[in-house]
Amino acid sequence: MRSPAGLSFEAISCLRGNRLLFEDLSFALGPGAALMIRGPNGAGKSSLLRIAGGLLAPAAGRVVRSGDMAFTSEAAALDERLPLADALHFWARIDGRGRNDVDRGLEAMGLGPLDQVPVRMLSTGQRRRAALARVIAGKAAIWLLDEPANGLDTASLDRLAAAMTAHRAEGGIVLAASHQPLGLDDPQELAL
Amino acid sequence: MRALALIVRRDLALSFAGGGAMMPLIFFLLVATLFPFAVGPDAALLGRVGGGALWMAALLAALLPVDRLIEPDARAGILDQYVVRGISDEAVAGAKILAHWLGFGPPLMLAALPAAALLKLDGATVMRLEAGLALGTPGLAALAVATSALTAGLRGAGALAGLVMLPLAVPLLIFGAGGLGVQGHGALKLLAASSLLLLAGAPFAAGAALRAGRD
């Protein structure tokens, strides 16, 4: 059994260029927690997620993580020439998962019928769903979702909400930045 | 380790699938074909300068794929995904160097055989050329990945890559071409040393460049 998931920011400040986006930001998320980050464009939502994921060093403060992470952003990070299932399988294997996990992810995002379609043929929304399928297949404890609802249709939004609910029920953490409601049950909110 | 093996496999598959792995080889053979036209069909002269010309061609062939080693993965968010999974930038760079060498070094050594025939190199020189390429191409691959990481995302990255990489490759060229002579053993040892130095340093230089590039 893995140790309980945890993600906390301790007095984090973020400096981009010469602009201070936020400072002295602290929060702690335990198993099953969800935090929605809101704020206007350029407020630092993506930077916050990148700091959480270790992609960006904070100007000050410390991030404490317990558990592995999955991250989605604008970029799908899937090989364009490969069929969708194979492109996802590459990441599943890096995460120590198998084909069945990929299938589960595809199923959860309603991409089952597209599993043999090359990634380059997918539409914007389908790519976004594919990236979410990667997150689901990876079974990581901490989900970092940057605008996961962009380009998703209503049915896909419901699928995303269901996937996040299931993830939290298993003790996972969701940290999401979004303009629109994601259908999270009783999330904590943070306005930047 | 498993993740790194997967990265090597993916990069290798990608370089062959895109046909990109063939480009440096075709370039290398093209130079070997054109060189006799430029200096004339004097077999003795070709035999004397041909080995050096092939080293030049190998160096320039190593420069060709530099814009494709890092930049596409950085743009597609694949490097970000490695970082989030806790794989260090240095390890990713190391895996990319290995994958690039596998797709570049051995095929180049194969292509050197017909190229040497075109330039009328004698058997002993061909052996020394192959030994030199075996020792030097890992260094070239390391340099290519480090340069690629440094220039990823910049405008005019291709031209800049040449300016960054070629001066650093001078030791490989000098010792590689020096190793072609009859008494070239000392030069081959120095070639191996330069190659090792590049191999040891490149993952760290590339890793630092990748980290800096994320800001």
Q: Which of A63, A73, A79, A128 to mutate to test the interface with B (most CBs of B within 10 A)?
A: A79
How many angstroms separate the CA of residue A120 from the nearest CA in chain B? 12
- Where helices occur in chain A by DSSP H, the ranges are 45-52, 84-94, 99-108, 124-138, 154-169
Tokens in use for B15? 């370089």
**Chain B residue with minimal CA distance to A140?**
B85
What is the DSSP annotation of B29-77? HHHHHHHHHHH-S-HHHHHHHHHHHHHHHHHHHHHTTHHHHSHHHHHTT
Contact between chains at A55 and B80 (C-beta distance less than 8 A): yes
Using beta carbons and an 8 Å cutoff, which residues of A are at the interface with B?
A: 50, 53-56, 68-71, 73-81, 90-91, 93-96, 144
Contacts of A141 in chain B (CB under 8 A): none
| B41 close contact with A: CB closer than 8 A | no
Give residue B15's pLDDT: 85
Rounded to whole angstroms, the Cα distance separating B196 from B89 reads 20
**Chain A residue with minimal CA distance to B4?**
A94
3-state helix/strand/coil string of A71-115: EECCCCCCCCCCEHHHHHHHHHHHCCCCHHHHHHHHHHCCCHHHC
Tokens in use for B7? 């990265």
Contact between chains at A90 and B6 (C-beta distance less than 8 A): yes
- Distance from chain centroid for Cα B85: 29
H or E segment and range at residue B144: helix B123-151
H or E segment and range at residue A190: strand A188-191
| B18 close contact with A: CB closer than 8 A | yes
| B1 close contact with A: CB closer than 8 A | no
- Domain limits, chain A: 80-139
**Chain B residue with minimal CA distance to A135?**
B81
How many domains, in total, are found in chain B? 1
B24 confidence band (pLDDT: 50, 70, 90) = confident
Q: Which of B1, B2, B81 to mutate to test the interface with A (most CBs of A within 10 A)?
A: B81
Tokens in use for A60? 């000050």
Chunked mean pLDDT (size 10), chain A, 192 residues? 82 90 92 92 90 92 93 91 94 93 93 92 93 93 92 92 94 91 86 85
The percent of residues in chain B predicted with pLDDT above 90, rounded, is: 65
Contact between chains at A54 and B83 (C-beta distance less than 8 A): yes
| B166 close contact with A: CB closer than 8 A | no
Count each helix (H run) and each strand (E run) in chain B, helices first.
11, 0
| B76 close contact with A: CB closer than 8 A | yes
**Chain B residue with minimal CA distance to A56?**
B215
Q: What residues contact A95, with CB distance under 8 A and at least 6 apart? A: A68, A137, A138, A139, A140, B85
Q: What is this model's ipTM?
A: 0.93
Give residue A2's pLDDT: 64
Give residue A1's pLDDT: 44
H or E segment and range at residue A70: strand A69-72
Q: Over range B159-167, report the average pLDDT.
A: 90
| Owning domain of residue B87 | 2-213
Contacts of A80 in chain B (CB under 8 A): 76
Q: Give residue-wise pLDDT tens across range B131-157.
A: 999 999 999 999 999 999 999 988 888
Contact between chains at A76 and B2 (C-beta distance less than 8 A): no
Q: B130: which DSSP letter? A: H
Rounded to whole angstroms, the Cα distance separating A115 from B20 reads 26
Contact between chains at B86 and A90 (C-beta distance less than 8 A): no
Q: Over range B17-31, report the average pLDDT.
A: 83
Give residue B194's pLDDT: 95
Contact between chains at B76 and A96 (C-beta distance less than 8 A): no
**Chain A residue with minimal CA distance to B81?**
A71
